[in-house]
Homo-oligomer: A and B are copies of this chain.
Amino acid sequence: MRFTSEQRLDDGVLEREFTLGEIPGTLWTPESAVPAPLILMAHNNGLPKREPRLVARARHSAAHGYAVATIDAAGCGDRPRSAADEQARADLRRAMQAGEPVDEIFESFVGPLVEKAVPEWRTTLDALLSLPGIDGPVGYSGWTALGIRLAVSEPRIKAAGFFAGGYVPRAQREEARQVTIPLLFLLQWDDEGNPRQRALDLFDAFGTKEKTLHANMGGHLGTPWFEREDGDRFFGRHLK
């Protein structure tokens, strides 16, 4: 893991860009609280790690005592996409504009995206936990489909907060029953592109006994600010 830049933010949080082989990442660490529990944070559908909403969430959690890391996994964010992925995304835009069904298009590229992302997140986790000042247990926050796959395959992850607003491939919907770590599942009640009933069915399917659903009014981008604090408290119960 090679750090390529760093800046100290107003609240004392250290924000560092890194590369790990081909993987670009960002690590936020709090000023105090050594060793800090680690939260892996990812955007639904492989959106870029530099996306302002993810950065704001990461900085907030780091200011509250967590080390937070994100990467652009293969095919995600600013990483190169395969010709097939480019084609799928073009098909998706066209279908959305035409009001046509999009499930099969999402399935065709989110499924492989998750499969390719998982080993890179695990490699990153190995490297992060070898750094001074970062310790387990590990939490996960954000992209539901990736989080299900990681929660099932990576025993170091002890608690997860999932955002319901994103396509979950059939394979991960089936794997949901094998997830047994504590979960906080965040749903926007009128998320434009994500059917409410499908999210409620997924919440029902998770195998864990200790799962909580938080649903708020409004569309995909309308999550209220206090859910950030609720997320920190959830991780506080399980990681600290």
* Interface locus among A2-10, A103-111, A204-212: A204-212
Shortest A135–chain B CB gap in Å is: 24
Shortest A25–chain B CB gap in Å is: 32
Shortest A67–chain B CB gap in Å is: 23
Q: What residues on B are CB-neighbors of A213 within 8 Å?
A: 189, 213-216
Question: What are 23 A-B pairs with beta-carbon distances under 8 A?
Answer: A189-B204, A189-B213, A200-B200, A203-B215, A209-B217, A209-B218, A210-B224, A211-B216, A211-B217, A212-B214, A212-B215, A212-B216, A212-B224, A213-B213, A213-B214, A213-B215, A213-B216, A214-B214, A215-B215, A226-B233, A226-B237, A229-B233, A230-B230
Q: What residues on B are CB-neighbors of A226 within 8 Å?
A: 233, 237
With both beta carbons as reference points, the residue of chain B lying nearest to A209 in the complex is identified as B217
Interface flags for A219-238 (1: CB within 8 Å of B; 0: not) read 00000101001100100010
Q: Could you tell me the distance between the alpha carbons of A224 and B211 in the complex, rounded to whole angstroms?
A: 10
Q: Could you tell me the distance between the alpha carbons of A237 and B229 in the complex, rounded to whole angstroms?
A: 12
Q: Could you tell me the distance between the alpha carbons of A237 and B230 in the complex, rounded to whole angstroms?
A: 13
Shortest A39–chain B CB gap in Å is: 19
Give the oligomeric copy count: 2
Q: What residues on B are CB-neighbors of A224 within 8 Å?
A: 210, 212
Report A55-101 residues with CB < 8 Å from chain B CB.
none
Residue among A204, A215, A226, A233 with the most chain B CB within 10 A? A215
Q: What residues on B are CB-neighbors of A216 within 8 Å?
A: 211-213
Q: Could you tell me the distance between the alpha carbons of A218 and B210 in the complex, rounded to whole angstroms?
A: 9
Top 10 A-B residue pairs of the complex, sorted by shortest distance between their CB atoms: A213-B215, A212-B216, A209-B217, A211-B217, A214-B214, A212-B214, A226-B237, A213-B213, A212-B215, A210-B217
Q: Could you tell me the distance between the alpha carbons of A212 and B224 in the complex, rounded to whole angstroms?
A: 10
Q: What residues on B are CB-neighbors of A204 within 8 Å?
A: 189
